[in-house]
Structure 1
Amino acid sequence: MGQKRIYEQVGVAMTSRSYAEYEKMFMLQAEQLQGKRVLDVAGGASSFTVEARKLGILAEAVDPLYEKSSEEIDQHGRQEIGLVAAKMEKLQDVYDWSFYGSLQNHTAGRIKGLERFVEDFSSRNGMARYHVACLPVLPFEQDSFDLVLCSHFLFLYEEQFDYAFHLKAVRELLRVAKPGGEVRIYPLLSFRTEEYGRLPDLLNECTNEGHLVEKREASLPFLPNSHQYLSIIKRGFA
């Protein structure tokens, strides 16, 4: 049996995913989010916020990346897209391309997402919706958001961030969510495409604290075993 081929990642990557990808990862329905306040945590250069805003969703994003200028983010993003494409080219047979179609389409989508992000980030209103901070401390009041999303950060970097960090981070996501609001995290995997090893412990902690925890089906079958996201509904009533 051959050695498992995995995506090699050092440090935390910056990506530029689209609203359509978030829709699939988190099973979002735009009509249900009209006028709702939604936070994208560790959003990177995703175009989710700007695209969601155009759909009437009150989206904001937070990431330490936002201390950089739009020019620096654009340059860094394009370098990252090139590196990702080179690494993925060697692993093309590992992934399910039914959503993206091809590596070329995947790369083109990342570039488009980056361009949309940079345009919005550098706009007059950019400062109001892109916040500089990183988990496990967010610069928002308690009970602020109807929905809090975290894509491709928690769990994925299992080898870089310990369980204590993950627990603090999830508690912080819940702190800024409204009572009865929801936290969604995707995927549930490390880079080894295996479920986060301490997930049962984390789910028990959240359950014991009174939150409603559930693994739910996602619909972005790209990474092996990436068919679920985590839903945590904050205790209390909206």
Structure 2
Amino acid sequence: MSMEQKQIYEQAGVAMTSRSFAEYEKMFMLQTEQLQGRRVLDVAGGASSFTTEARKLGILSEAVDPLYEKSSEEIDKHGRQEIELVAAKMEKLQKVYDWTFYGSLQNHTAGRVKSLERFVEDFSSYDGEARYHAACLPVLPFEQESFDLVLCSHFLFLYEEQFDYNFHLAAVRELIRVAKSGGEVRIYPLLSFRTEEYSRLPDLINELTNAGYLVEKREASLPFLPNSHQYLSIIKMASA
């Protein structure tokens, strides 16, 4: 398909996401049993149900997003509007996607609603230890070396046209900062909305490698977006 014919998912501003734990498992190749008792951070998590589902499985998950400044009612309303908007866009692009995991657009939409509902219930009712933090990259409100695993889905790289390379580099360095020595940062997907690999990814990998981190592209297992078969793994070596 030529560039003139290529169908592009059009996005203005940063979208709010409502993804499930099962989707995170496939995006980031997570092994639940290895994460139990570990501290995990979901960055730009939006209204995804990952944190509440992970907690029920014994994973010490937290999430950070500027969205959390809003009330649960505001998030619920905004989330449902976003889900309807996404469904309408995807209706026109159904042939672009691989529906192996979701089965159909209807299933995809229903899953988004269920994840939103799970998130809103948890966000509005949890007490004691805070697990939803209102903040945004490239500055996170955590001490350095706080988390065993740091995840970032559908934010970095995807918004290549809105955020420049300096932002991406600063954001990734911040993800690394809050990861523990020996811990890991995982970012998915490696694409812009044009479904092409982030154009400055080689530069980013080179800078991080020179800084002493182990950086690799690894295979993911959520083949939905074209070319979305990889995530970026950054391991914070103890000496880095």
Smaller-chain TM-score bracket: over 0.9
* CA contact 1:85–1:103 (8 Å) conserved in 2: yes
Q: Cα offset for 1:235?
A: 2.1
Q: Select the residue among 73, 76, 88 that pairs with 2:75.
A: 73
Identity %: 86
Q: Select the residue among 105, 108, 111 that pairs with 2:107.
A: 105
* CA contact 1:156–1:189 (8 Å) conserved in 2: yes
* CA contact 1:120–1:126 (8 Å) conserved in 2: no
Runs of 4+ aligned residues of structure 1 deviating over 6 Å after TM superposition are none
Unmatched segments (≥5 aa) in structure 2: none
* CA contact 1:121–1:127 (8 Å) conserved in 2: no
Q: Select the residue among 185, 188, 202 that pairs with 2:187.
A: 185
Which string of whole-angstrom CA distances, capped at 9 and with x for unpartnered residues, describes residues 23-70 of structure 1? Answer: 000000100001000000000000000000000000000000000000
Which string of whole-angstrom CA distances, capped at 9 and with x for unpartnered residues, describes residues 135-169 of structure 1? Answer: 00000000000000000000000000000000000
TM-score, scaled to structure 2 = 0.97
Q: Select the residue among 30, 36, 39 that pairs with 1:37.
A: 39
TM-score, scaled to structure 1 = 0.98
Structure 2 counterpart of 1:117: 119
What is the rounded CA distance, in whole Å, between the counterparts of 2:60 and 2:97 in structure 1? 33
Of 121-130 and 20-29, deviating more is 121-130
Q: Does 1:156 align with 2:149?
A: no
* CA contact 1:40–1:61 (8 Å) conserved in 2: yes
Structure 1 counterpart of 2:215: 213
Structure 1 counterpart of 2:197: 195
What is the rounded CA distance, in whole Å, between the counterparts of 2:126 and 2:226 in structure 1? 40
Unmatched segments (≥5 aa) in structure 1: none
Structure 1 counterpart of 2:143: 141
Q: Cα offset for 1:127?
A: 6.9
Change beyond 3 A, Cα 1:85–1:117? same
Q: Does 1:169 align with 2:168?
A: no
Q: 1:164 is paired with a residue of what secondary structure?
A: helix
Q: Cα offset for 1:125?
A: 2.5
What is the rounded CA distance, in whole Å, between the counterparts of 1:137 and 1:126 in structure 2? 24
Q: Root-mean-square deviation (CA), in Å? A: 1.2
> Counterpart amino acid of 2:12?
V
Q: Cα offset for 1:102?
A: 0.1
Which string of whole-angstrom CA distances, capped at 9 and with x for unpartnered residues, describes residues 191-234 of structure 1? Answer: 00000000000001110110000000000000000000000001
What is the rounded CA distance, in whole Å, between the counterparts of 2:28 and 2:215 in structure 1? 15
Q: Select the residue among 18, 24, 27 that pairs with 1:22.
A: 24
What is the rounded CA distance, in whole Å, between the counterparts of 1:179 and 1:136 in structure 2? 20
> Counterpart amino acid of 1:5?
Q
Q: 2:125 is paired with a residue of what secondary structure?
A: coil
Any residues of structure 2 matched to 1:46-85 within 5 Å, and which? 46-85=48-87
* CA contact 1:47–1:116 (8 Å) conserved in 2: yes
Q: Cα offset for 1:3?
A: 1.8
Q: Select the residue among 76, 86, 89 that pairs with 1:87.
A: 89
